């Protein structure tokens, strides 16, 4: 984050409200998307992929994706603890 790279910037669309935000201003979040066939037993096929999504500042703040560094670190630690 932060407006460091100057010049022409790529616009990203906010995943929540659809607003266009410059890449370096947008808040990046990696989401784990899981697809499965809902079959019981060994026939079940599970596919997981990581998708990078961008949010504008207001959505990121509202959705608690972007917050103070300390809080972010705490949340990350918790996430690692519970898987």
Q: Is 13 exposed, middle or buried (0-12, 13-18, 19+ CB in 10 A)?
A: middle
Query: Judged by CB, which is closer to Zn ion: 19, or 25?
Result: 19
DSSP structure string for 17-73: T--EEETTTSEEEEEEEEEE---SSTT--EEEEEEEEEE-HHHHHHTTSS--HHHHH
* CB-nearer residue toward Zn ion: 61 or 74: 61
Judged by beta carbon, residue 12 or residue 56, the one nearer Zn ion is: 56
Smallest separation (angstroms) from Zn ion to the CB of 15: 7
- Residue 61 Cβ, how far from Zn ion at the closest point, in Å? 10
- Contact residues: Zn ion, CB under 5 A: 14, 16-17, 19, 56, 59
């Amino acid at each position: 984050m932060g407006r460091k790279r100057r010049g022409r910037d790529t616009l990203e669309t906010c995943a929540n409200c659809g607003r266009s935000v410059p890449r370096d201003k947008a808040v990046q979040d990696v989401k784990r998307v899981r697809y499965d066939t809902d079959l019981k037993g060994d026939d079940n096929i599970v596919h997981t992929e990581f998708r990078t999504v961008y949010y504008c500042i207001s959505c990121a703040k509202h959705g608690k994706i972007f917050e103070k560094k300390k809080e972010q670190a705490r949340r990350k630690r918790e996430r690692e603890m519970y898987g």
